[in-house]
Amino acid sequence: MESWKILVFGGTGYIGRHMVKASVLYGHPTYVYTRPNSTHTDLLQDFQSMGVILVKGELNEHEKLVSTLREVNVVISALAYPQVLDQFKIIEAIKAAGNIKRFLPSDFGCEEDRVSVLPPFQKFLNKKKAIRRAIEAAGIPYTFVSANIFGSYFVNYLLRPYEERDDVTVYGTGEATVVLNYEEDIGKYTIKVATDPRTCNRVVIYRPKTNIISQLQLISLWEKKTGRTFKRVHLPEQQIIDLSESLPDPENIPVAILHSIFVKGVTMNFDLGEDDIEASTLYPDLQFITIDQLLEIFLHNPPKPFSAAFA
C-alpha cells in the first residue's frame, strides 16, 4: 500500500483543523505549514502532541515551500477566502518540487463550476475557479472537493441556539433544500478522497441523502428536539438582493452567500450524473453524521459559533 504524507495549509483554520486531525486519525504522517507568528498557540501545541510536524513559514518563501513539499506527496489547502489567490504561490512551488501526487485546493463549499450566484459571491467563486484552472493547466494531479455547507457553522447561524430567542430568521421562503455536512465528517472524507486513486483529477461532491433539508424542515426538527416553538420571520428575497448591492465589499459577500444557498438552493439545484462522484457512495464503512444526529450534538454539547473571514 502506498504511503501518504500529507501537508495542510490553513491547518489552524475553521475547517483545516478537522482535516489535520483526520489525517492523524488515519495514520498519515501529517505536516502543517503555519505562520511564524501564528496566534493559535494552543491548537498548534495540540497538533504537536498528536505527532503533527509543524513547518513555520510564509507563503512568499518559495524555497521553503519547495523544500517542504519535497517531504510530502499530498497537499491540502484550507486557506481562508482572503488568501485564496495566495494559492498561486503553492502551485508554483508544487511545479518546482515535482513530486506531489495530489493537490486539493481550498474549495470545500458549493460546486463553483456549476452554480450561478449573485455578483459578490460570484467574484468570490471566480478566484477559486482561477485556482482550479491554473492547477489543470499545470498538469498537477488534483481532487476538487465540493463539501457543500458546513453543518455546525450554519446551524449556529440559522437557529442561534446560544441566544435566548423566540424567533428565527428565514431567508426567502425557507423551502429551498440545502446540504448540511458536519465539519468533522468533511475532514474525514477529505483525507479519504485525497488518498484515493478513484478521485484523482475528479470533482467529488459531498451530498449524502440524509443531510438534505430545507430551512423550514430544520426549524421544525429543532422545535421537536427542544420542545420549543419559534416564530418564523421571513426576510424576502428582494431585500437580500438589495443588501448584496448596497453593502460595501466584503460585507456584501455573506449576504450573497445566504441568498445563493438558502434562497436559490445552489447546493441542490443540479443533478448528479454518471460522471459525478458523490462521497458517501465511496466508503460504505464511513457514515456521515445525519442532520438529526447533528442537532442532538447541539442539544447536549453545542459547538461554539464561528464567523468566517472575508477581509
Residue 273's pLDDT is: 85
- Quote the CA–CA distance of 90 and 61 in Å, as a whole number: 10
| 224 is known as an active-site residue | no
Residue 3's pLDDT is: 82
* More confidently predicted of 310 and 18: 18
Instruction: Collect all residues with Cβ–Cβ distance below 8 Å to 152 and sequence separation of at least 6.
Output: 182, 183, 294, 297, 298, 303, 306
Considering the entire predicted model, what is its pTM?
Answer: 0.97
Task: Kindly report each contact of residues 192-195 with a partner whose C-beta sits within 8 Å and lies 24 or more positions away, as own/partner.
Answer: 192/26, 192/279, 192/282, 192/283, 192/286, 193/104, 193/143, 193/145, 193/279, 193/282, 194/4, 194/6, 194/74, 194/76, 194/102, 194/104, 194/143, 195/2, 195/4, 195/6, 195/28, 195/74, 195/102
* Under 8 Å between Cβ of 76 and 107: no
Given the residues 5, 128, 129, 192, select the one marked as catalytic.
128
Residue 238's pLDDT is: 98
Largest alpha-carbon pair distance within the chain? 58
Indicate the range of 40-49, 172-181, 270-279 predicted with least confidence: 270-279
pLDDT at 209 over 60: yes
- Quote the CA–CA distance of 161 and 147 in Å, as a whole number: 24
Q: What is the mean pLDDT of residues 247-256?
A: 96
For the record, the C-alpha cell of 275 comes out as 460522471
pLDDT at 230 over 90: yes
- Quote the CA–CA distance of 212 and 207 in Å, as a whole number: 8
